[in-house]
């Protein structure tokens, strides 16, 4: 009898195990299907359909936004050997030629994209040489990704950068861009870079396990993660990319299943009917959230297929990468109105000098010293003209209000830099670049448009990357992102809240209050 009870109990246990294993297997298959569908749905949200949708996406949206938001899409799509990235490569190299990229980690990200698509341009090796280690943790992370793909540098080797990253780990097992408090995103991204050594290096294995313990402890009961107290899909996507790079299936690893919810549960709750993803639950479509999930879906499928990390590229061609060349100072510069004005003035000065010489000759004042004096004066004036920065008053800093034919109301805007007030000579002591000022708006006016109008009227220098909805403000009043740390830069708020879209995409309404602030550490503690 006792034996029969034991057998019955064992049978019941087996039934329960079987019943519970079915949904687990179903969830894994469902997750794989979801991961495969996400890229197609995101392209559909961009209006790209059909058999050649991905190639159209590369030739269209990604090429148009090279350097200003296309890069993580490129890192995901570079593994598709059927795609041609020549149009994107040309566009990115043009962007890099015409724009100064002050962030070392951004330069390394661009170099990684070029390597991912098989480019052999000298920008890759030049960036490895001058950017690794120049901007803390992130420059080591992107630098190690490049070195992991076979590129070499005399000062930095993969082994040295790997050890440097290990030395930056905090006691709680996590990593951070700055400060002593670990961050989910920084930790996950560090693990992604260390992943190729996880099964080969004992020190890396210990470090990664500690990092995974930190990440597991930070996962919410809903399956997602937070950054600076805000639950979001981007942080969750970074953890999924990290786990996938290690060969860990987040759908079956108990450390990353909370209250029955997995990482995919945490990510998919931010999915919108359009196929895009929002930054905060219930919010609008967000470009950064969407592309991060796109990359995470690709990484998950790589893991499911038994492939390497999404950051290891078959196209990478370090053997044929070009060596950096001396910069050609005589290279043709983009034409500007200022240069046209200078050319006209210089030509007039030279003609005047020629006429003076002719008059001297006719008047028989033919002493060589006279002609030499005219030549010297002409040359000095030409040099002075070339040194002066001519700008069109109509286009820049005109001091006038923008003409609004169909006004719908007014908004106010303020520009402040209290966090760094007075730290440099060009930074206001009181932290105020523009006091609260009213601007008339028309239907469709965006935060970026009003900022541009303010810059022209009040002679405030601004620098942006991208156009229209992709506009990103990198500098105001000669105060730039990263000037005061890896996470320093400009952020805007409307009515006290920070929108999840770029300034070029946020449409204003009557009565809105806009504040631009120079923030440190992404606003943490400010």
Could you give the CA distance from residue 391 to residue 340 in angstroms, rounded to a whole number?
Answer: 10
Q: Domain with 273 in it: what CATH number?
A: 1.50.10.20
Beta bridge partners of 462: 476
Q: Provide, for the chain, the percentages of residues in helix, strand and coil under a 3-state DSSP scheme, each rounded to the nearest 5.
A: 50, 10, 40
What per-residue confidence (pLDDT) applies to 244?
Answer: 96
Residue 149 has pLDDT above 80, yes or no: yes
Residue 439 has pLDDT above 50, yes or no: yes
212 domain residue, yes or no: yes
244 domain residue, yes or no: yes
More confidently predicted of 105 and 485: 105
pLDDT digits (tens, 9 = 90+) for 337-376: 444 566 778 888 888 888 988 888 888 888 888 888 888 9
Q: Are strands 407-416 and 513-519 parallel, antiparallel or unpaired?
A: parallel
Same domain, 360 and 269: no
Residue 484 has pLDDT above 80, yes or no: no
Could you give the CA distance from residue 270 to residue 295 in angstroms, rounded to a whole number?
Answer: 15
Residue 5 has pLDDT above 90, yes or no: no
Same domain, 272 and 416: no
Average pLDDT, the chain: 84
Chain centroid to Cα 176, Å, comes to 18
Same domain, 10 and 127: yes
Same domain, 420 and 381: no
* CA–CA distances in Å: residue 387 to residues 95, 342, 347, 463: 26, 9, 15, 22
The residue to which tokens 């039934």 are assigned? 15
Same domain, 445 and 354: no
What per-residue confidence (pLDDT) applies to 7?
Answer: 40
What per-residue confidence (pLDDT) applies to 463?
Answer: 82
Mean pLDDT across 393-409: 69
Residue 446 has pLDDT above 50, yes or no: yes
Residue 487 has pLDDT above 60, yes or no: yes
Mean pLDDT across 250-267: 94
Same domain, 279 and 382: no
Residue 194 has pLDDT above 50, yes or no: yes
At residue 107, φ and ψ (nearest 5 deg) are -60, -40
- The maximal CA–CA distance of the chain, rounded, in angstroms, is 137
Nearest to 88 by CA among 99, 100, 77: 77
More confidently predicted of 502 and 329: 502
What per-residue confidence (pLDDT) applies to 384?
Answer: 77
356's tokens: 């003076």
Question: What is the chain's Cα-based Rg?
Answer: 29
**Among the listed ranges 151-160, 180-189, 271-280, 347-356, which one has the minimum average pLDDT value?**
347-356
Beta bridge partners of 183: 175
Could you give the CA distance from residue 515 to residue 492 in angstroms, rounded to a whole number?
Answer: 6
Q: Are strands 479-480 and 230-232 parallel, antiparallel or unpaired?
A: unpaired
Same domain, 10 and 89: yes
The residue to which tokens 């990390």 are assigned? 309
Total number of domains constituting the chain: 3
What per-residue confidence (pLDDT) applies to 38?
Answer: 82
Same domain, 156 and 205: yes
pLDDT digits (tens, 9 = 90+) for 13-35: 433 333 333 333 335 555 666 77
Mean pLDDT across 282-303: 92
Residue 77 has pLDDT above 70, yes or no: yes
Mean pLDDT across 68-81: 92
Q: Domain with 474 in it: what CATH number?
A: 2.170.130.30
pLDDT band at 388, cuts 50/70/90?
A: low
Mean pLDDT across 240-255: 95
Helix (H, G, I), strand (E, B) or coil at 231: strand
395 domain residue, yes or no: no
Mean pLDDT across 120-127: 94
Same domain, 121 and 207: yes
What per-residue confidence (pLDDT) applies to 330?
Answer: 38
Same domain, 295 and 174: yes
Same domain, 195 and 144: yes
Percent of the chain's residues with pLDDT above 90:
50
Mean pLDDT across 93-117: 91
pLDDT band at 387, cuts 50/70/90?
A: low
More confidently predicted of 42 and 193: 193
Sheet holding 407-416, edge to edge: 432-442, 407-416, 513-519, 489-494
Same domain, 292 and 371: no
What per-residue confidence (pLDDT) applies to 84?
Answer: 96
What per-residue confidence (pLDDT) applies to 9?
Answer: 41
**Among the listed ranges 20-29, 244-253, 263-272, 391-400, which one has the minimum average pLDDT value?**
20-29
More confidently predicted of 520 and 319: 319
More confidently predicted of 400 and 271: 271
393 domain residue, yes or no: no
Residues spanned by the domain of 182: 2-320
**String of DSSP letters for 77-146:** HTT-TT---HHHHHHHHHHHHHS----HHHHHHHHHHHHHTT---THHHHHHHHHTTTTHHHHHHHHHHH
328 domain residue, yes or no: no
pLDDT band at 49, cuts 50/70/90?
A: low
What per-residue confidence (pLDDT) applies to 466?
Answer: 61
Chain centroid to Cα 142, Å, comes to 12
Residue 285 has pLDDT above 80, yes or no: yes
At residue 515, φ and ψ (nearest 5 deg) are -130, 125
419 domain residue, yes or no: yes
pLDDT band at 296, cuts 50/70/90?
A: very high
173 domain residue, yes or no: yes
What per-residue confidence (pLDDT) applies to 526?
Answer: 42
Element (H, E) at 474: strand 472-476
400 domain residue, yes or no: no
What per-residue confidence (pLDDT) applies to 371?
Answer: 80
Residues 6 or more apart from 93 whose CB is under 8 A from it?
A: 114, 119, 121, 123
What per-residue confidence (pLDDT) applies to 403?
Answer: 79
């Amino acid at each position: 009898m006792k034996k029969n009870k034991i057998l019955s109990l064992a049978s019941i246990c087996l039934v329960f195990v079987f019943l519970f294993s079915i949904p687990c297997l179903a969830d894994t298959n469902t997750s794989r299907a979801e991961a495969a569908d996400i890229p197609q749905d995101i392209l559909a949200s961009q209006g790209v359909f059909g058999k050649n949708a991905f190639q159209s996406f590369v030739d269209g949206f990604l090429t148009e936004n090279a350097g200003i938001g296309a890069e993580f899409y490129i890192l995901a799509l570079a593994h598709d050997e059927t795609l041609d990235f020549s149009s994107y490569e040309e566009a990115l190299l043009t962007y890099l030629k015409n724009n100064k990229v002050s962030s070392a980690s951004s330069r390394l990200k661009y170099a990684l994209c070029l390597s991912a698509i098989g480019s052999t341009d000298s920008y890759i090796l030049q960036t490895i040489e001058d950017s690794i280690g120049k901007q803390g943790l992130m420059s080591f992370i992107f630098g190690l990704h490049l070195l992991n793909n076979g590129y070499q540098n005399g000062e930095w080797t993969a082994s040295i950068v790997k050890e440097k990253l290990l030395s930056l780990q905090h006691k709680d097992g996590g990593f951070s861009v700055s400060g002593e408090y670990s961050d989910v995103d920084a930790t996950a991204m560090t693990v992604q870079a260390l992943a190729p050594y996880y099964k080969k290096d004992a020190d890396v294995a210990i470090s990664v396990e500690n990092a995974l313990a930190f990440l597991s402890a930070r996962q919410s009961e809903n399956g997602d993660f937070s950054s600076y107290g805000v639950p979001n899909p981007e942080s969750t996507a970074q953890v999924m990319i990290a786990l996938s790079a290690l060969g860990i299936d987040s759908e079956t690893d108990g450390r990353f299943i909370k209250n029955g919810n997995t990482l995919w549960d945490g990510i998919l709750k931010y999915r919108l009917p359009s196929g895009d993803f929002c930054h905060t639950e219930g919010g609008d479509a967000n470009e950064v959230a969407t592309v991060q999930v796109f990359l995470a879906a690709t990484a998950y499928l790589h893991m499911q297929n038994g492939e390497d990390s999404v950051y290891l590229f078959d196209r990478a061609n370090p053997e044929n990468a070009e060596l950096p060349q001396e910069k050609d100072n005589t290279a043709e510069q983009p034409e500007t109105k200022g240069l046209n004005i200078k050319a006209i003035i210089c030509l007039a000065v030279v003609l005047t000098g020629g006429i003076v010489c002719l008059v001297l000759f006719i008047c028989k004042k033919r002493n060589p010293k006279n002609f030499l004096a005219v030549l010297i004066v002409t040359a000095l004036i030409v040099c002075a003209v070339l040194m002066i920065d001519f700008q069109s008053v109509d286009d820049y800093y005109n001091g006038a209000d923008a003409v609004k034919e169909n006004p719908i109301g007014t908004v106010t805007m303020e520009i402040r830099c209290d966090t760094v007030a007075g730290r440099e000579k060009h930074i206001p002591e009181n932290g105020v670049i523009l006091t609260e000022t009213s601007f008339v708006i028309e239907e469709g006016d965006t935060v970026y448009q009003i900022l541009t109008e303010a810059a022209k009227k009040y002679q405030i220098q601004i620098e942006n990357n991208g156009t229209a909805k992709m506009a990103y403000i990198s500098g105001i009043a000669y105060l730039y992102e990263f000037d005061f740390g890896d996470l320093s830069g400009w952020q805007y708020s409307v009515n006290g809240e920070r929108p999840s879209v770029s300034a070029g995409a946020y449409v204003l309404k009557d009565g809105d209050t806009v504040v631009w602030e120079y923030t440190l550490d992404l606003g943490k503690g400010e």
